[in-house]
């Protein structure tokens, strides 16, 4: 009788081990798959700008539509956090910034009419799924002025960077070789309240990663300049927390450097 009880106990113990092994194996595979999925890097959002009618048919005093189509891989992005169109005429300092309206299939739109012929620029600032993209498109509306050239466009772009250095939120610059810098900062912030200094860097419409980035901050009329290092979080996005301790107008200068490239972008913020 005792021998029989011992055999039953042994068989029961073996059965438990077999069940544990069978039950544990799928769970381990599931964990492995989960770990593999968590290490996958999401595809970048892509933004393409187009117009209706097409860009070669745009005319003054006739309404047209600017579209930004946002995709991630083969998927249309219908849940963008923000799509904002920035529009201005070549050589002018005033920029119009308007929220785009979602229509369907990843497309966000803005309707525009201009009164004068000339060269215009549009940037679609898109923030979606933890990423930022800001492609630019040149639009020739009406007849082209004689004597224009690519070289003139580049020079105007460089002049624009200097002349618009006192714009606020969303201020950007156009560098050589498809380089763009964009400072995200409200025009007005509160004294003694922590804010995020954020800079977006792109080259050829792709995030510029692994750059050395600093924000230089100083109050208008004062000689003391403070430098704070920014860290890259999302690809091409560099940020640092900062607190303005006195009221007044401040310069905020974004310095970025990678390999042989070194440039900067400046804006003005009012602390109240």
At 18-76, the pLDDT tens digits run 555 555 544 444 444 444 444 566 788 999 999 999 999 999 999 999 999 999 999 99
pTM for this structure? 0.58
User: How many separate helices (H) and strands (E) can be counted in the chain?
Assistant: 2, 21
Tokens of 258: 């990678």
Domains of the chain: 45-148 (2.60.40.1930), 177-271 (2.60.40.10)
Whole-angstrom Cα distance, residue 55 to residue 122?
12
pLDDT digit string, tens, across residues 233-244: 888 889 999 999
Q: Name 133's bridge partners.
A: 126
Q: Residue 97: exposed, middle, or buried by beta-carbon count in 10 A (0-12, 13-18, 19+)?
A: middle
Give mean pLDDT, residues 134-161.
Answer: 58
């Amino acid at each position: 009788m005792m021998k029989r009880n011992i055999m039953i106990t042994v068989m029961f113990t073996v059965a438990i081990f077999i069940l544990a092994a069978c039950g544990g194996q799928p769970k381990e595979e599931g964990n492995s798959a989960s770990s593999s999925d968590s290490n996958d890097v999401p595809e970048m959002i892509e933004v393409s700008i187009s117009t209706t009618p097409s860009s070669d048919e745009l005319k003054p005093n006739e309404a047209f539509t600017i579209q930004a189509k946002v995709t991630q891989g083969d998927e249309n992005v219908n849940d963008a956090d923000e799509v904002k169109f920035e529009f201005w005429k070549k050589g002018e300092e005033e920029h119009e910034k308007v929220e785009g309206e979602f229509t369907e299939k990843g497309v966000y739109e803005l309707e525009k009419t201009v009164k004068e012929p000339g060269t215009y620029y549009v940037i679609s600032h898109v923030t979606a799924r933890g990423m930022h993209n800001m492609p630019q498109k040149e639009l020739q509306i009406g007849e082209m002025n004689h004597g224009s050239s690519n070289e003139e466009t580049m020079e105007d772009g460089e002049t624009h960077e200097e002349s618009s250095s006192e714009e606020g939120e969303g201020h950007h610059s156009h560098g050589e070789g498809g380089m763009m810098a964009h400072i995200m900062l409200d025009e007005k912030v509160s004294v003694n309240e922590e804010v995020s200094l954020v800079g977006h860097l792109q080259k050829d419409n792709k995030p510029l990663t692994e750059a050395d980035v600093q924000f230089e901050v100083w109050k208008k009329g004062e000689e003391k300049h403070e430098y704070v290092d920014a860290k890259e979080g999302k690809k091409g996005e560099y940020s640092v927390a900062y607190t303005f301790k006195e009221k007044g107008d401040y310069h905020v200068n974004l310095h970025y450097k990678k390999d042989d490239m070194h440039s900067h972008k400046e804006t003005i913020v009012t602390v109240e």
